[in-house]
Chains A and B, each alone.
Chain A
Amino acid sequence: MRFLVPTVFLATLATAALAHGPTPQKVDQTIVIAAKPAAVWKVVGNFAGIDTWHPDVAKSVAVDGNAAGGRRKITLKNGGTLDEGLDEMNDKDFSYSYRLSDPDLKALPVSSYSATLTVTPDGDGSKVEWLGRFYRGDTGNEPPEELSDEAGRKAMNTFFADGLKGLKAKVEAGKGK
């Protein structure tokens, strides 16, 4: 009876790690920054440098460089961790695409995601779009509220929006100096 609890716990973890689910959800956040795309890219284009501009990120460690195949290991201020790998890095077009390796429901209540960040010219400044596709934390048909599509949408949109606000503040402050 004593080992029932850990067994159930492990089974739950295993499900979360393997789950992908049949219902993808969108996340899409955009911000306008008063700086040229090249200046924005100098900050955001270093994939593992997210801890220099995202206010929710405590630490980010680069693994295997800043090209396809490279990774970043993020520790959030809430204690959760995100291990993300680059699929595409377009230094010329100021865009990269990456995905989550293993879910950590403490970090974000989602089982998987992939995302693309793009910097484009917008008048005299730049537009940064951060968009992605994710699956809710519990991919079964009766997810608890905290692992539902809605909970995932809220968390992902907040994470992207917070990040873009931090990026804008960092780039525009740097420009003034």
Chain B
Amino acid sequence: MIRGLALAVVLAVTVCGPVRGQTVYAVSQEGGTLTPVAPPGAAIPLGKGPAQVAAGPDGRLYLAHPDTRTISVVEGRSGRVVARLPFAGQPFGLAVARDGRSLFVGDWSGHRVVRVSSATGAVEGSVAVGRDPAGLVLDRAGRLYVADRESHQVSVVDTATLERVGTVPVGEAPFALALNPAGDRLYVACVRSGDLHAIDTATLAVVGRTVLGGMPYGVAVSGDGARILVTNQQAGTLNVLDATLAPIAKVPVGRYPEGVAISGNTAYVANWFSDSVSVIDLSTLAETARLPVGEGPRALAVLAQPDTAEAPR
């Protein structure tokens, strides 16, 4: 009983921070580092130019290095680079298959998505998408959504057959994508037209759109699906919207905010120009800390340790 109370107090005190068993990482493209920001840890040197990151179900992180045509694999627990997979193309956006055995890799200048073995990097198949694939997101049913930046659309790929089953026209230069927890809404941030689109994943129709202005470069959805977070690079803000895309708040962060991730009741924003990560309490919608990281952070990932991770549904 006393132990239970003590635990409750600890939980109440640590409302702002990552969920237990989760680690939030920031990847710095210019600095070539991966930094655990919550809980904080030492930066992991990765080599030149890691641009994007995806967390696997196996406690590993996968990082795309477009300029050196490689994907590095980091074991979260030890913080070690355990593999460097060659990639015949310009790797950028990444998604990890639910079983962790395959990766889906956007080939930026190849205008395709390639499925490779997460152990060896061997090519298992590929599918043509639009021009300059940026963000990739995989849903629980194995459907992959790809932001085709210079085709101004989202490609929808059935990963079982590796066939494109649809395209959804959106605004100009879609970059980042996020699914809500229910998986029935896909939010797409368009950098050039400065707007956010909501797509109904059942009908693949655009069911909502709001103009944010500036350059929205990152998007994330809260655990309850009620809040949509969008970074605006030109304004230096994290825009908070409700599920109807109505604005709730604009939280000032660092310069050129890009990637945004959520763990529990806390959001993390990669400030590309400021070389820092903003920590935002989603209850108060205020920045509670700004943590220094390597130069040019763009992307974030939330890694669940395999022993505390939810069993695959």
Where the two chains meet, the residues of A that have a C-beta atom closer than 8 Å to any C-beta of B are 18, 20-24, 26, 28, 68, 87-88, 97, 99, 114, 116, 131, 133, 139-141
Contact = CB atoms under 8 A, between A and B. Distances in A.
A18 B172 CA distance: 12
Contact of B109 (A28, A88, A133, A140): A140
Nearest to A18: B150
Contacts of B109: 139-141
B296 interface: yes
Given A131-B273, A133-B256, A99 B215 contact: yes
Contacts of B255: 116, 131
A68 B30 CA distance: 30
Contacts of A20: 132, 149-150, 173
Nearest to A28: B273
Given A18-B131, A20-B173, A87-B234, 19 more contacts: A18-B150, A20-B132, A20-B149, A22-B66, A22-B67, A22-B90, A23-B67, A24-B272, A87-B213, A97-B234, A97-B235, A99-B215, A114-B215, A114-B234, A116-B255, A133-B272, A139-B109, A140-B109, A141-B66
B187 interface: no
B138 to A, nearest CB: 20
Nearest to A140: B109
Contacts of B69: 141
Main secondary structure of the interface of B (DSSP, over half): loop
B215 A141 contact: no
Interface in B239-285: 255-256, 272-273
Contacts of B296: 24, 26
Interface string B187-213: 000000010000000000000000001
Nearest to B191: A20
8 contacts: A22-B51, A22-B67, A23-B66, A114-B215, A114-B234, A133-B272, A141-B66, A141-B69
Contacts of A131: 255, 273
B253 to A, nearest CB: 14
Nearest to B48: A23
B194 to A, nearest CB: 7
A131 to B, nearest CB: 7
Interface string B126-154: 00000110000000000000000110000
B193 to A, nearest CB: 12
B25 interface: no
A36 B90 CA distance: 48
Contacts of B108: 21-22
Nearest to A142: B67
B17 interface: no
B214 A97 contact: yes
B282 to A, nearest CB: 25
Nearest to A143: B67
A164 B189 CA distance: 34
Nearest to B235: A88
B233 interface: yes
Contacts of A26: 30, 273, 296
Contacts of A99: 215, 234
Nearest to B67: A23
